[in-house]
Amino acid sequence: MVDQIKDKQAPSDQMLIIEKHEQVIAYLYPIVQRTPRKHGVVRDKMLACLFDQADLVIQAGKSGHVSKLYAADANLAMLRFYIRFYRGNIENFTQHNEEVALSRVAEVGNLLGKWIQRKKGN
């Protein structure tokens, strides 16, 4: 009975994470799109990472496998890497941009971490 209750929590976890990640995308997408052409490779990697996150969260919710949650968590780690890389190497990315982006990604990461802990508790 308790397992069924915890499994019903997954869709709400998934939706909340997706909503928070949409805020990350809404903030970062316009900034990343303005990246100078000479940094096109890192821009494309950052965009892929941004949009892959929603895919990974949805797959985790549908499959119910904790390994899918770990894949989504690993993608967030890559997104953090690209954000820090942008700050040091891309002219139009300010310290303020980095701080806001990392705090929004941290919100997503906290929610994802709680979901992982609940799944591991099953």
Contact 10, 115 (CB under 8 A): yes
The domain locations on the chain are 2-121
CATH fourth-level superfamily of 2-121? 23S rRNA-intervening sequence (1.20.1440.60)
Confirm if 42 and 82 have CB atoms less than 8 A apart: yes
Whole-prediction pTM: 0.86
pLDDT along the chain (122 residues), means of 10: 50 90 97 92 95 94 91 97 92 92 97 92 74
| CA nearest to 115, candidates 11, 1, 2 | 11
